[in-house]
Structure 1
C-alpha cells in the first residue's frame, strides 16, 4: 500500500515497505579483467558522479565501480607521474592514495627519529662539566 503524504494528502509513489537502505547500498565491485587502468578510472569517475546524483532521490540502482589491484595501487602511491598518466582518478581512489602517502611519510619520520635516538650514545653523558668541590669543615 502506498503511504499518504502528510503535507499533500495524496498517495506517495513508493510503497510503505520500500527499502531505502538497499537502494543506496553500493553494488559489489566489478573485476578488473580485460580493461586498462585508464578505462576503469574513466568508468569509475562516471559511475561515481552518477551514484552521487542518483542518491539525492529514489531512482535507478547505483552503478558498480571497478576494483583496483594491489600492485596498481602501490604504483599509484609511489609514482605521481603514473597517476597523471592513467588519470583522471575517481575521488575515492584519490583519497585512498593521499591517506597512504601520509601514512608512509609518518612511518618514515618515525623510523628516522628512532634511528637518531638509537644512534646517540649515552656513555659519558652523566659526567659533570664543573664538579662540586667540597670544603672541609662546613
Structure 2
C-alpha cells in the first residue's frame, strides 16, 4: 500500500491541514471492507443519491447520522438463535459501518428503504454569499451597518 507524505504541505501552505485530513480520511475509507456494496449516483446538477444494498436489514436495524461533513451509516442486527442449516449462505447479515466524507455545503435531504436497498438523497446547496455575482463597473460598494 502506498502512503503519501504531506509534511511539505505543512511547511509551505497555511491551512493545508484540512486538505491533509481529507486525504487521510480518503485513505482510511479505502481500507474499509466492501460490505455492504453501494452506488453513488449523480441525479441532477447538484443532486446525488447513495444506494446501499442492505438485504436482511429493516429500517429499525439501520441508523444514519450526519456530523459536520461526515455521513455515517450503521447496520446492526441481533444474532439469531435458531438452528438453521444452510446449503449455501450468500446473503450476509453482519453488522456494518460505512462512512462518507461530504463536500462543503452538501446536505442530506432524505433516506428511504425499499426492496433491500437504502437510498439516501443529498444536495449541494451553495449559500448566496458564496455564489458568483456580477459587479457592474462604476458601482459603489454598499456596506451593511
* Structure-2-length-normalised TM-score: 0.24
Higher helix share: 1
More strand by share: 2
